[in-house]
Copies of this chain bind each other. A is one copy, B any other.
Amino acid sequence: MQIPVGVSARHVHLSQEHLTALFGAGARLHPKKPLSQPGQFASEEKVDVRGPRGTIQNVRVLGPVRPETQLEISKTDALKLGLQPPVRESGRLEQTPGITVIGPQGQVTLTQGVIVAKRHVHFSPEDARRYGVRDGQSLTLRTTGERGLIFENVTARVSPKYKLDFHLDTDEANAAGLQSGDEAEMIELEGLKAQPMPHFHGNEIIRDDSSPQHEKTTESVG
């Protein structure tokens, strides 16, 4: 069962109140491009976001406006901003960090609203039936290629407003070597074995000492 992949870059959803504060009285969002989920769009509007450690410029505003302002970033972004947002489903904003959002006509300092989006699959009710999944179910998806990964704990989200799409953030997509439009396969894992073969002693072919090594450093990102 193949599912198309949609990669979510960092973005912000604004409330009408915050849209007005950032873009001025009478401001509205100007659709630039439709998104995979029906009725949702990337707008022409962009904002900067400033955290305790750094600023990220030109963060895309998605529309339409929402009841609450919400910034969705990757962990890589979070390190740059100096924040430690939790991994959350969209809209679950309690006990999340705030941030300062800067628009052309003003700025707003949020007391909460920054999350790293939890990976999930959008299903229409028809697709959910076809794939045999229910809302809230935890799925396992496998991607292929040299950086292929198996993602456990992928939340199924079912709504008549949804269209089939496996949503990952940019860290997850880069880690897996995926782009929007690639596909993942829904699988079931059985018989995970924790041990290698007993009585297998490896072999004596070892790497040439002169070959280059790879090291780690604890330098932080950004």
- On A, residues with C-beta under 8 Å from B are 1, 6-11, 13, 33, 35-37, 40, 42, 60, 62, 66-68, 70, 72, 74-76, 87, 89-91, 117-120, 122, 125, 128-129, 131-135, 142, 146-153, 157-162, 165, 167, 169-172, 174-177, 180, 185-198, 200-209, 211-221
Contact = CB atoms under 8 A, between A and B. Distances in A.
B216 A91 contact: no
This protein's copies in its complex: 2
A153 B147 CA distance: 7
A162 B215 CA distance: 10
Contacts of A148: 152-153
A177 B1 contact: no
Given A8-B217, A35-B215, A87-B146, A206 B135 contact: yes
Nearest to A13: B212
B174 A219 contact: no
Contacts of A190: 190-193
A176 to B, nearest CB: 7
